Amino acid sequence: MASQAEPQARTRIAVQAVSKVFSDQPQKALAMLEAGETKDVILERLGTVVGLNRVSFDVAEGEILVVMGLSGSGKSTMLRCINRLVEPSAGAIVVDGTDVTRLNQKDLLEFRRHKFGMVFQHFALFPNRTIQGNVEYGLEIQNVPKAQRAEKALAAIEVVGLKGWEAKYPNQLSGGMQQRAGLARALAVDADILLMDEAFSALDPLIRRDMQGELRQLQRKLGKTIVFVSHDLDEAIALGGRIVLMKDGAIVQIGNPEEILLAPATDYVRRFVEHIDVSSVLTAERLADRGVAVLRAGHTAAEARLAIASCQQTSWYVTDEGGRLVGRATREQVERCTGTIGAVMEAGCDRVEASATLRQAFARLAANRDGVAVVDDRGHLIGTVTHRGAARALARDTAGTAAASAEEARHGLVHPKISA
């Protein structure tokens, strides 16, 4: 899968078997959790509420990890355990080699000051402070000198696009702008881990989408590691990172959006993803049929005719020697050919980027009867998306697409025999 193919990034946060039991005497409940009892059983027998049930996951350097679940699933509790706004009852949370759960009060304050920036659902801006005053808060707590504080705060305000609003009070700003200020406050302290608790849930749908896009851009630009809590699967998918899906305080599935959509681990996940529009998640790269025959621009007429002799199709993609897509040639063109294929082919042809979603590829598909070519970011031909493939993906014929593409990925492009 795509995420595993990427180079292994350093683990920033390792959550190891964290449990949270809301009780003065958690031992009994923890023992029952250990024995595999569910949240409901423990509530019934002990009257103890279980917040988290042995949750484990890693957050890699520079990723957006979305912790997702409905209300009461423990996702916010999980987030708050990372900076110990909520004390975990058991387990360890290792951030950059330090077990947060073992820090004493003084070290914990230091850790919070320098490691984490936090963004809240209802913005949590201090109404008695200006935007700049709010953004400076974290620095003020660290006793940073005034001039330096202002400088950093203004820089953060500019990054989130609130320049010119720094002297206003939170109640003079719209919801979206207030949350930008909340983000600026988290950025100003130079912490490289952002904890975001339903950060966009209180915003209008349109503003929310904009903010999701901006957060992705910001994350790419600043390389922050982000743990984002959300109850909205669409949002989780839009943010593009891995998803930790929680239910009743336990993890149900961890994976990237495609894995969760196409291979739901349980019925619960399946129901969860049912309404999700697959076309906005699946990428052209994933859908590409890699078993497509191609011709090289440098092929002579004889070579080309030999190559197409056993093929049924009526046209072929043409690549240069480096594998870059340069055009398309029909059977007729090949048969008329006297010099090289490059001379007779139709130069340039419709294509979609590998990272484009199926939804974005629809227009191209509609315009091309034989499907559309998929190229990577250097223009190399990867394969084609066919109408049939697209329809199968929409029908969630997961066995088909997943198995087939894995198989084909191993073989790479199928070249006509003589090109060897």
Partner 1 sequence: MDWSIPKFPLDTLCDQALTWLTVHLSGVTLAVAGVIANWIEVSTAALSAVPPPITIVVLAAICWRIAGIRPGIMAAAGLAFLWNLRLWVPTVETMILVTLATSAALVIGVPLGIACALSRRVWRTVGPFLDMMQTMPSFIYLIPAIPFFGLGPVSACFATIIFSMPPVIRLTALGIMQVPRELIEASEAFGSTPMQKLFKVQLPLAVPTIMAGVNQTIMLALSMVVIAAMIGAGGLGREVWRSIQRLEAGAGFEAGIAIVIVAVILDRVTQKLALRLRPTGQAAH
Give me the residue label for tokens 């080309």.
Answer: 304
Cβ of residue 98: shortest distance to partner 1, in angstroms? 15
What are the CA-CA distances from residue 228 to residues 56, 117, 126, 337, 362 (Å)? 16, 12, 22, 57, 30
Cβ of residue 72: shortest distance to partner 1, in angstroms? 17
Cβ of residue 177: shortest distance to partner 1, in angstroms? 16
Cβ of residue 193: shortest distance to partner 1, in angstroms? 12
How far is it, in rounded angstroms, from Cα 358 to Cα 5? 21
How far is it, in rounded angstroms, from Cα 368 to Cα 288? 15
If the CB atoms of residues 106 and 411 are measured against partner 1, the closer one turns out to be 106
Cβ of residue 52: shortest distance to partner 1, in angstroms? 18
How far is it, in rounded angstroms, from Cα 397 to Cα 414? 24
How far is it, in rounded angstroms, from Cα 14 to Cα 55? 10
Determine how many CB atoms are found less than 10 A away from the CB of residue 261: 25
If the CB atoms of residues 134 and 315 are measured against partner 1, the closer one turns out to be 134
DSSP state of 352: E
If the CB atoms of residues 192 and 289 are measured against partner 1, the closer one turns out to be 192
Q: Which sign, positive or negative, has the C-alpha torsion 319, 320, 326, 331?
A: negative
If the CB atoms of residues 19 and 121 are measured against partner 1, the closer one turns out to be 121
Residues that bind partner 1 (CB under 8 A): 80, 83, 85, 109-114, 116, 118, 120-122, 124-130, 137-138, 140-142, 169, 171, 185, 189, 195
Cβ of residue 187: shortest distance to partner 1, in angstroms? 12
User: Which amino acid is residue 353, in one-letter code?
Assistant: E
The set of residues, in sequence order, having a beta carbon less than 8 Å from that of 391 and lying 6+ positions away, is none
Cβ of residue 191: shortest distance to partner 1, in angstroms? 9
How far is it, in rounded angstroms, from Cα 361 to Cα 372? 8
Contact 297, 318 (CB under 8 A): yes
| 3-class DSSP assignment, residue 250 | strand
If the CB atoms of residues 112 and 247 are measured against partner 1, the closer one turns out to be 112
If the CB atoms of residues 80 and 152 are measured against partner 1, the closer one turns out to be 80
Cβ of residue 51: shortest distance to partner 1, in angstroms? 16
If the CB atoms of residues 137 and 317 are measured against partner 1, the closer one turns out to be 137
The set of residues, in sequence order, having a beta carbon less than 8 Å from that of 143 and lying 6+ positions away, is none
β-bridge partners, 299 = none
If the CB atoms of residues 112 and 242 are measured against partner 1, the closer one turns out to be 112
